[in-house]
Amino acid sequence: MSSLPPLKKPLNEQPESSFTLSSEYYLSEELYEQEKQQIFYRSWQYVTHQTMLPDVGDYTTLTLCDENIFVIRSSDNQLRAFYNVCRHRAHELLQGSGNSRKLIVCPYHAWSYSNSGELLRAPLSEHRSEFDKSAFCLREIRLEIFCGFVFINLDDNCESLQSIAGDLEQDIRQKVPYLDDLKFVGADMLGETRLDAGWKVVVDNYVECYHCRAAHKDFASLIDMNAYQTDVFQHWSRQIGGDIRYSNSAYEVDPASGMQNSFFWYLWPNTTFNILPGSNELGVFVVRPLAVGNCDFGGHSFSADGKMYQPRVEYTANVLAPEDIELCESVQRGLRSLSYDQGAFMVNPASPGESEHALHHFHRLVHSALAQE
């Protein structure tokens, strides 16, 4: 078993008698290294939507902790993922996004690969006896399509995403009738928003709306918190704002147009699917760790009609996101205080939407993952 800091107060199965992870879990460099190996290199990670790579040779790149990865549509029209590293001297092969229809050529020594990963040319290799090109193909990574979105997993022996979260796909499809009509519309690219807060602090903030009345007054004006709902499942959780107010301080919602509810799905460990009322949109946003106390939060926005609803965009960008960033960065600073170690989960059976049982669920998942070999 991995060595974990002892928790002075219990994190047990019942949230009403449990306490949070201690501050050391948010501040320890050693634990952060464990998180890379035992959480991020063993879990399904969002990359893009399959429609964003429509043509043979289309690719996009991703940085996951210390690993560089690219996803490409190969000549057989399949999406494939590879470590973005030349097998000769480890130079990165591709940058950003683009098209590499014919060859992937390393800019260092011109080793050349097909878009399905085979090594085709290695200059001077003819002078090595018995040089086997097949031994130097690109290392492929597991890839799976989930609700039309592309996910990868560095663990060759992982369970399929469908087996882990098939009930989540069913739930999203049931509640989002336009799911298969989504078109990319947003420039909310990964890496745009850097927070001076660790990834767990940001997920903590996302999975509970206990803070919404106090910290998001416009959100609580738009969404009736008395009818808010939070549900917990094995590897995901869900928040539903089923009742909205058309007269509110956040932004204008047309009662005859677009989605009339809000949905926020969290998929372990760091992916979120988001819908605010007013249009047929869906945002997929991911928390990417950069260091113990830093992360990126970003992703992609989609809609059924290929347009973004501007009032929602302006509210999210100018009000909701800055509020959450300030909250998370304040928490990260506060975790260093000598006065703090563990908090207590607040739950109210009469108002589960504003309770912290999804936060408790997340902390249990983190602790369990770090405790594994």
The residue to which tokens 């249009």 are assigned: 279
The residue to which tokens 């699917």 are assigned: 273
With bands split at pLDDT 50, 70 and 90, how would you rate the model's confidence at 56?
very high
Number of compact structural domains in the chain:
2
Q: Looking at residue 350, what is its pLDDT?
A: 77
Say if residue 90 is in the same domain as residue 218: no
Say if residue 28 is in the same domain as residue 140: no
Res 190 pLDDT > 50 = no
What residue ranges in the chain does DSSP mark as E strands?
45-49, 58-64, 67-73, 79-83, 97-99, 104-105, 112-113, 119-121, 140-146, 149-153, 183-184, 194-195, 228-232, 236-241, 262-267, 271-275, 281-291, 294-303
Say if residue 204 is in the same domain as residue 267: yes
Q: Looking at residue 187, what is its pLDDT?
A: 63
Task: Kindly state whether residue 327 falls inside one of the protein's structural domains.
Answer: yes
Under DSSP, is residue 324 helix (H, G, I), strand (E, B) or coil? helix
Q: Give this prediction's pTM.
A: 0.96
Task: Kindly state whether residue 137 falls inside one of the protein's structural domains.
Answer: yes
Domain that holds residue 50: 46-153
Say if residue 327 is in the same domain as residue 364: yes
Say if residue 143 is in the same domain as residue 278: no
Span 231-253, average pLDDT: 96
DSSP-H helix ranges across the chain = 24-27, 29-35, 161-175, 199-206, 212-215, 217-222, 310-315, 321-334, 357-371
Res 188 pLDDT > 60 = no
Q: Average pLDDT, whole number, for the chain?
A: 95
Span 171-188, average pLDDT: 91
Instruction: Calculate the alpha carbon distances from 308 to 190, 264, 278, 305, 318 in Å.
Output: 18, 18, 10, 8, 15
Say if residue 304 is in the same domain as residue 189: yes
Res 1 pLDDT > 80 = no
- 60/49 Cα distance (integer angstroms): 11
Res 192 pLDDT > 50 = yes
CA angle 84, 90, 94 (to 5 degrees): 35
> Who wins on pLDDT, 31 or 101?
31
Please, are residues 84 and 70 in contact by the beta-carbon 8 Å criterion? yes
Say if residue 193 is in the same domain as residue 334: yes
Give the domain CATH number at 139: 2.102.10.10
Task: Kindly state whether residue 326 falls inside one of the protein's structural domains.
Answer: yes
Q: Which of residues 97, 127, 153 is at a domain's end?
A: 153
Judged by average pLDDT, the poorest of 38-52, 71-85, 178-192, 214-228 is 178-192
Say if residue 24 is in the same domain as residue 119: no
Please count the other Cβ atoms lying within 10 Å of the Cβ belonging to residue 163. Answer: 8
Q: What is the tens place of the pLDDT at every residue in 67-90?
A: 999 999 999 999 999 999 999 999
Say if residue 69 is in the same domain as residue 29: no
Task: Kindly state whether residue 3 falls inside one of the protein's structural domains.
Answer: no
- 368/41 Cα distance (integer angstroms): 15
Q: Looking at residue 146, what is its pLDDT?
A: 98
Please, are residues 57 and 73 in contact by the beta-carbon 8 Å criterion? yes
Task: Kindly state whether residue 20 falls inside one of the protein's structural domains.
Answer: yes
Q: Which of residues 92, 126, 153 is at a domain's end?
A: 153
Span 269-290, average pLDDT: 97
Span 307-333, average pLDDT: 96
Say if residue 338 is in the same domain as residue 349: yes
Res 189 pLDDT > 70 = no
Say if residue 19 is in the same domain as residue 67: no
Give the domain CATH number at 197: 3.90.380.10
Task: Kindly state whether residue 125 falls inside one of the protein's structural domains.
Answer: yes
